[in-house]
Amino acid sequence: MEKKILLTEKEIPSHWYNIIASMPNKPLPPLHPGTRQPIGPEMLEPLFPMELIKQEVTGEKYVEIPDAVREAYKLYRPTPLYRAYGLEAALDTPAHIYYKYEGVSPSGSHKPNTAIPQAYYNKQQGVKRIVTETGAGQWGSALSFACNMFGLECEVYMVKVSYNQKPYRRIMMETFGAKVYASPSDHTESGRKILAADPHSPGSLGIAISEAIERAAPDPDTKYALGSVLNHVLLHQTVVGQEALIQMEKAGELPDIIVAPFGGGSNFAGLSFPFLRLNLEEGKKIRAIASEPLSCPKLTRGVFSYDFGDTIGMTPLLPMYTLGHEFVPASIHAGGLRYHGAGVIVSQLLKDKLIEARAHAQLECFEAGVKFARAEGIIPAPEATHALATVFQEAAKAREEGTRKTILFNLCGHGHFDMQAYGDYFAGKLEDHELTDAEISDLTSKLIAV
Amino acid sequence: MEKKILLTEKEIPSHWYNIIASMPNKPLPPLHPGTRQPIGPEMLEPLFPMELIKQEVTGEKYVEIPDAVREAYKLYRPTPLYRAYGLEAALDTPAHIYYKYEGVSPSGSHKPNTAIPQAYYNKQQGVKRIVTETGAGQWGSALSFACNMFGLECEVYMVKVSYNQKPYRRIMMETFGAKVYASPSDHTESGRKILAADPHSPGSLGIAISEAIERAAPDPDTKYALGSVLNHVLLHQTVVGQEALIQMEKAGELPDIIVAPFGGGSNFAGLSFPFLRLNLEEGKKIRAIASEPLSCPKLTRGVFSYDFGDTIGMTPLLPMYTLGHEFVPASIHAGGLRYHGAGVIVSQLLKDKLIEARAHAQLECFEAGVKFARAEGIIPAPEATHALATVFQEAAKAREEGTRKTILFNLCGHGHFDMQAYGDYFAGKLEDHELTDAEISDLTSKLIAV
């Protein structure tokens, strides 16, 4: 029996899939924070190159992947699909478990799937420099790699708690030629404002986004890039699910359940959207579950509301499940999931009950991560362990019910740069951070449900 | 054009290749340290299971890979062969450069290729526990992974300088369930002896081997495992070259030059031996170059002599190129290359001028490593950068001569656990450590050339 289902480079998808074309209810428009009127694409021009803005708003079902991007994808794509024989045995489950492994990319996660096209389109438009934020460092290292590939400068604001927890991530970005700052920093007005209020702020993705936007907006040679949340980012990530569709077909199975970790939505969207098309267009009933941390439960306990994408409030207002843009999540090791809101498309899908969400505690996730490492030989990133926690629950359910479910999950990255997190876990230093009802109600009372 | 040349799991080689069968001059026998008489296989029984001892002394040209081992190999094998288009452009060379990438394995290097069969044969014989040493941690993490896979306990003596430089490697071994000690330790007589002489000893592979052997020898439930040097280890690694042969054939080229880093010989042997068979049996003229550190130049400046494999002098005497078993190399970051001697087979091949060797300075290697990372997206392990330094020289020569050489090298592992080394390099903290003629003569004057 084959452990890995591989594709050739010729099978790298020719198009990304845009789920908006298939959605029964289209996402609500972003609003101008001042006028509260829907914004036009021109408002995004200071931040993004025109091709990405077009992709942000397009209704076309398929967007062609440029040849130069497909060429760059060949460095690591198609990524392997694994049958988790070892894990199935360890869990004693009748379920068939598959995982798409995105950790084979240069930066070790799925993030280059969008970093490469973003760098490419910026280069095409003559941009000189891209500024971005990063949580755990996975997005920052992906963009550093991609900018280096296309000859662009790269500047990264890294959430301070991760900057301190993961120094090797910073060195990786520097190896690819980027400049990296701990956020909140004193390089920006936004950073100084946060530091004045709390000099020991651990930072958050929302704060780092404010800093990066502030750096990019006034300079025509400099653009901004986001690693998740936005429509064009989710679009690029569908290369994952497009490949997985072919691979599952080769395996002779269609998943009953698809699971992916959830930060801003790109990881989850990337794997699940091409399968959800089968639900939306062909009446299939594949369940797609987004796995988030109990300490940052925007999907399971947030409110569907118009909110800012950043902490300071510089972005357009987006219709999303959110805990409020001022929410600073606890310093869990899954830095990539420490974001207050969910992408617009995913939020609409959840509102329409077309996808599901589930929250897991940090210790539960690391326990699953260690079990997976011992069964399959790959040490998962802390973000990926959230998907594992959901998979473990579904595998146990399959065993209890005696049903043979097929589960596919996104092993979105390896944990090579997160070993301190595993060390802390073994040393008993990790804690769970569940929000109380009072905390949730305090956070969400300021939000107006749509 | 294809960037990666992939094989299916069915193409995992069915046999390892034993170069001894093809060698014009067979290696000299190991000698008993007391009697100076050739030893029989029975002397190795306290340390190794019988199947590995048989492989150590076999003259058969091909040894079948057990099904259970091929099954375990499927976790990461066949490994990809890459055409280095990016590097060729960066070096502006007419050379065609290929690399076999072993960093896709669970522990991130070629080491599981032998860790898996070693754990398997020990388990078959009813052994409960394997003790070993590790330098940079690559061998220790490979064996930890393999022992966990076959339900064996694993105990690792890690060279102290690496233990301190690479804490994440230790955590990785612990994640796979192993116990890890910094060597020299106070757990063994050998360790205590070294510490008494030098409480600040950085350790060395030779010292760590002494400790591991001392732990294993008296206990019938415990065996020892070595990650390089010995014939059976080199044998297992030929799975790399056996695959690369098929892949180069698919690429439609035969290498003119093969390059691999050199510590004890397993990395170099693994890639080159199946190609050297073509020289020995079919009259081909492929050059095979072993790349070693200037700070540990046993191949380029050592003496072919009978010497111990460990520092204390517990092993049989082996006929090898060596700097003397008491030599403690400088604390370079390529911990896996800090070993005083070369494996017996490789030593004989070098003596017979059937292979070549070249030494490189640490800074030259890191410069090549950073250039490679920016060109190809993979950050190489410090060990692997030694092969790169040789490749860079040969690529430059091809450019100067205007000849289109085909170069194949072993990218034996990624540098995800060595980012501190890159950080130190960027911070200007790394030094070169070339031995003076007086130091070399002091080291080698005690050795008696064979």
pLDDT tens for B419-440 read: 999 999 999 999 999 999 999 9
Parallel/antiparallel/unpaired status of strands A153-159 and A179-183: parallel
Query: Which of B76, B175, B370 shows the shortest C-beta gap to A370?
Result: B175
Which residue is closest to B73 within chain A, CA to CA? A3
Q: How does DSSP classify residue A39?
A: P
- Angle subtended at Cα B429 by Cα B424 and Cα B430, rounded to the nearest 5 degrees: 85
Single-letter amino acid code for the residue at A111: K
pLDDT over 90 (residue B151) = yes
Q: How many residues does chain B have?
A: 450
Max CA separation in chain B (angstroms): 60
| Structural tokens at position A24 | 């029964």
What is the reported pLDDT for A204? 84
d(CA B312, CA B307): 11
Stretch A98-124: mean pLDDT, rounded? 98
Contact B420 A168 (CB under 8 A): yes
Q: Helix/strand/coil (H, E, C) string of A153-209? A: EEEEEEEHHHHHHCHHHHHHHHHCCCEEEEECCCCCHHHHHHHHHCCCCCCCHHHHH
Stretch A198-210: mean pLDDT, rounded? 90
Interface residues of A toward B, Cβ cutoff 8 Å, are 2-4, 6, 8-9, 74-76, 86, 104, 106, 108, 145, 148-149, 167-168, 171-172, 174-177, 370, 373-374, 376-379, 414, 416-417, 419-420, 422-423, 426
What is the reported pLDDT for B335? 82
pLDDT over 80 (residue B1) = no
| Structural tokens at position B314 | 């517990």
**CA B197 to chain CA centroid, nearest Å:** 29
Which residue is closest to A369 within chain B, CA to CA? B175
Residue A106, preceding bond cis, omega within 30 degrees? no
Single-letter amino acid code for the residue at B396: A
Distances (CA, A) of B425 to A150, A204, B30, B367, B416: 24, 30, 41, 9, 15
Single-letter amino acid code for the residue at A151: G
| Structural tokens at position A100 | 């798409």
What is the reported pLDDT for A103? 97
Query: Which of B2, B374, B423 shows the shortest C-beta gap to A177?
Result: B374
Q: Residue B336's CB: how many other CB atoms inside 10 A?
A: 32
Phi, psi (degrees; rounded to nearest 5) at B52: -70, -35
d(CA B272, CA B288): 7
Mean pLDDT across chain B: 95
- What is the SS3 assignment for A346? helix
Poorest-pLDDT segment among A52-56, A418-422, B290-294: A418-422
- What is the SS3 assignment for B287? strand
Contact B2 A74 (CB under 8 A): yes
- What is the SS3 assignment for A108? coil
Contact B417 A416 (CB under 8 A): yes
Nearest CA to A225 out of A207, A213, A208, A211 is that of A213
d(CA B121, CA B112): 14
Stretch B21-26: mean pLDDT, rounded? 98
pLDDT over 80 (residue A1) = no
| Structural tokens at position A36 | 């509260």
Contact B74 A4 (CB under 8 A): yes
The alpha-carbon gap from A308 to the nearest alpha carbon of chain B, in Å, equals 34
Interface residues of B toward A, Cβ cutoff 8 Å, are 2-4, 6, 8-9, 74-76, 86, 104, 106, 108, 145, 148-149, 167-168, 171-172, 174-177, 370, 373-374, 376-379, 414, 416-417, 419-420, 422-423, 426
Name every chain B residue with its beta carbon within 8 A of the beta carbon of A148. 374
Cβ atoms of A92 and A393 within 8 Å: the answer is no
Cβ atoms of A136 and A264 within 8 Å: the answer is no
| Structural tokens at position A210 | 């404010």
In the sheet that holds A222-225, the strands lie side by side as A179-183, A153-159, A129-134, A222-225
- Chains A and B form CB pairs within 8 A to the count of 104
List the single best residue of B172, B175, B366, B372 to mutate versus A (max A Cβ within 10 A).
B175
Which residue is closest to B147 within chain A, CA to CA? A374
Name every chain A residue with its beta carbon within 8 A of the beta carbon of B108. 416
d(CA B143, CA B135): 13
Which residue is closest to B71 within chain A, CA to CA? A3
Contact B422 A171 (CB under 8 A): yes
d(CA B170, CA A155): 32
| Structural tokens at position B57 | 């002394």
pLDDT tens, A317-344?
999 999 999 898 888 888 889 899 999 9
What is the reported pLDDT for A312? 83
Q: How does DSSP classify residue B37?
A: S
Name every chain B residue with its beta carbon within 8 A of the beta carbon of A167. 419-420, 423
- The alpha carbons of chain A give a radius of gyration, in whole angstroms, of 20
What is the reported pLDDT for A47? 94
Residue reference for tokens 């400046």: B301
Nearest CA to B137 out of B177, B118, B109 is that of B109
Q: Let me know if A196 is exposed, middle or buried by CB neighbors in 10 A (0-12, 13-18, 19+).
A: exposed
Contact B171 A377 (CB under 8 A): no
Name every chain B residue with its beta carbon within 8 A of the beta carbon of A176. 373-374
d(CA B374, CA B86): 9
Contact B374 A148 (CB under 8 A): yes
List the single best residue of B333, B379, B420 to mutate versus A (max A Cβ within 10 A).
B379
Query: Which of A4, A167, A419 shows the shortest C-beta gap to B171?
Result: A419
Single-letter amino acid code for the residue at B26: K
The alpha-carbon gap from A239 to the nearest alpha carbon of chain B, in Å, equals 18
Name every chain A residue with its beta carbon within 8 A of the beta carbon of B167. 419-420, 423
Query: Which of B9, B145, B376 shows the shortest C-beta gap to A4?
Result: B9
Element (H or E) spanning B321, and its range? strand B317-322
Contact A417 B416 (CB under 8 A): yes
Nearest CA to A292 out of A326, A268, A271, A324 is that of A268
What is the reported pLDDT for A335? 82
Nearest CA to A209 out of A230, A190, A187 is that of A190
Which residue is closest to B142 within chain A, CA to CA? A377
Q: For residue B408, what pLDDT band results from cuts at 50, 70 and 90?
A: very high
Name every chain A residue with its beta carbon within 8 A of the beta carbon of B176. 373-374
Between these two residues, B441 and A204, which has the higher pLDDT value?
Answer: B441
- What is the SS3 assignment for B433? coil
Query: Which of B75, B106, B373 shows the shortest C-beta gap to A3?
Result: B75
Single-letter amino acid code for the residue at B354: L
Q: Residue A229's CB: how many other CB atoms inside 10 A?
A: 25
Nearest CA to B415 out of B337, B331, B333, B352 is that of B333
pLDDT over 90 (residue B255) = yes
Q: For residue B67, what pLDDT band results from cuts at 50, 70 and 90?
A: very high
Residue reference for tokens 């250039």: B371
- What is the SS3 assignment for A96? strand
Name every chain B residue with its beta carbon within 8 A of the beta carbon of A79. none
What is the reported pLDDT for A446? 84
Stretch B414-423: mean pLDDT, rounded? 94
Stretch B36-58: mean pLDDT, rounded? 94
Cβ atoms of A146 and A116 within 8 Å: the answer is yes
Distances (CA, A) of A11 to A245, A266, B368, B423: 11, 22, 33, 38
Name every chain A residue with its beta carbon within 8 A of the beta carbon of B378. 106
Phi, psi (degrees; rounded to nearest 5) at B14: -85, -20
d(CA B305, CA B347): 10
Nearest CA to B423 out of A272, A404, A168, A273 is that of A168
The alpha-carbon gap from A153 to the nearest alpha carbon of chain B, in Å, equals 13
Single-letter amino acid code for the residue at B108: G
Query: Which of B3, B174, B379 shows the shortest C-beta gap to A426?
Result: B174
Name every chain B residue with its beta carbon within 8 A of the beta carbon of A106. 377-378
- Angle subtended at Cα A403 by Cα A401 and Cα A404, rounded to the nearest 5 degrees: 150
| Beta partners for residue B288, in sequence order | B258
Stretch A285-302: mean pLDDT, rounded? 97
Fold adopted by A67-108+232-449: Rossmann fold (3.40.50)
Stretch B137-145: mean pLDDT, rounded? 96
Name every chain A residue with its beta carbon within 8 A of the beta carbon of B374. 148, 175-177
Single-letter amino acid code for the residue at B30: P
Nearest CA to A224 out of A49, A341, A69 is that of A49
Which residue is closest to B376 within chain A, CA to CA? A75
Q: How many residues does chain A have?
A: 450
Q: For residue B205, what pLDDT band results from cuts at 50, 70 and 90?
A: confident
d(CA A209, CA A225): 9
Residue reference for tokens 């940079």: B136
Stretch B178-204: mean pLDDT, rounded? 94
Name every chain B residue with its beta carbon within 8 A of the beta carbon of A104. 104
Query: Which of A149, A175, A419 shows the shortest C-beta gap to B370?
Result: A175
Single-letter amino acid code for the residue at A379: I
Which residue is closest to A116 within chain B, CA to CA? B377
| Structural tokens at position B195 | 């510490």
pLDDT over 90 (residue A348) = yes
Cβ atoms of B91 and B392 within 8 Å: the answer is yes
Its ipTM equals 0.95
Which residue is closest to A417 within chain B, CA to CA? B416
pLDDT tens, A211-260?
999 999 999 999 999 999 999 999 999 999 999 999 999 999 999 999 99
Burial state string for A343-362 with b = 16 or more CB within 10 A and e = fewer than 16: bbbbbbbbbeebbbbbbbbb
Cβ atoms of B62 and B239 within 8 Å: the answer is no
What is the reported pLDDT for A412? 97
Name every chain A residue with its beta carbon within 8 A of the beta carbon of B151. none
pLDDT tens, B303-360?
999 999 988 888 899 999 999 998 988 888 888 898 999 999 999 999 999 999 999 9
d(CA B170, CA B148): 15
What is the reported pLDDT for B330? 86
Contact A379 B175 (CB under 8 A): yes
Name every chain A residue with its beta carbon within 8 A of the beta carbon of B106. 377-378
pLDDT tens, A379-397?
999 999 999 999 999 999 9
The alpha-carbon gap from B210 to the nearest alpha carbon of chain A, in Å, equals 28
Nearest CA to B344 out of B240, B213, B239, B228 is that of B228
Q: How does DSSP classify residue A305?
A: E
| Structural tokens at position B51 | 């199947």
pTM of the model: 0.96
| Structural tokens at position B137 | 């941690």
pLDDT over 90 (residue B145) = yes
Q: Give the sign of the dihedral formed by CA B200, CA B205, CA B209, CA B210.
A: negative
**CA A124 to chain CA centroid, nearest Å:** 25
